[in-house]
Amino acid sequence: MKFKHMLVSALLALSAQALAEPAPPIKVETSNQVHPAGTRYVTVVVTALDNTVKVENIDVNRGNCHIANQKYLYSSNKETILPATLRYGQSVEVSFYNNCVASEVVVTTDKGAWRYTYN
C-alpha cells in the first residue's frame, strides 16, 4: 500500500513538471514613449536568453500599433529589422506607432510565441 502511495506521488510530480511551461528563450522590455510632436509610441526590446533565437514577429495590441520594421528610414534600401536571428545576449529593438500605449505584446520566435500583458 505504501509503495502505491509513493508511486502515485512520483507520477503526479513528474506529470506536473511535464505540464509546466518552459521558460521563454527571450527577455522582453517594453517602454511607452512620447514623440516631441506629442504622439505616443511603443519601443520593444527583445533579448536572447538562448544560444540562438530567431525573432520572427512582434505584435503590439493585437496589430493595432503599426510596426516600424524598416532598418533605414527614408532610404531606397528595403531591408527590415524583423525577422532577426539573435545570439545569447544580443537584442533587437523595434518601435510601434499609431498613437499607442502597450497593453499586450506577443513575440513570435522559432521556439514558440510568448504573450506579455500590461495594465
Is residue 8 in some structural domain? no
Domain containing 78: what range? 23-117
Is residue 69 in some structural domain? yes
Is residue 16 in some structural domain? no
Is residue 95 in some structural domain? yes
Is 100 a residue whose pLDDT tops 60? yes
- Three-class secondary structure of residue 55 per DSSP: strand
Is residue 3 in some structural domain? no
> What pLDDT, on the 0 to 100 scale, is given for residue 70?
87
Phi, psi torsion values for 40, nearest 5 degrees: -95, 145
Average pLDDT rounded to a whole number, residues 23-28: 96
> What pLDDT, on the 0 to 100 scale, is given for residue 74?
73
Is residue 90 in some structural domain? yes
Grid cell for residue 10: 512520483
Q: How many domains does the chain have?
A: 1
Is residue 57 in some structural domain? yes
Percent residues over pLDDT 70 in the chain: 82
Say what the pTM is.
Answer: 0.80
Is residue 39 in some structural domain? yes
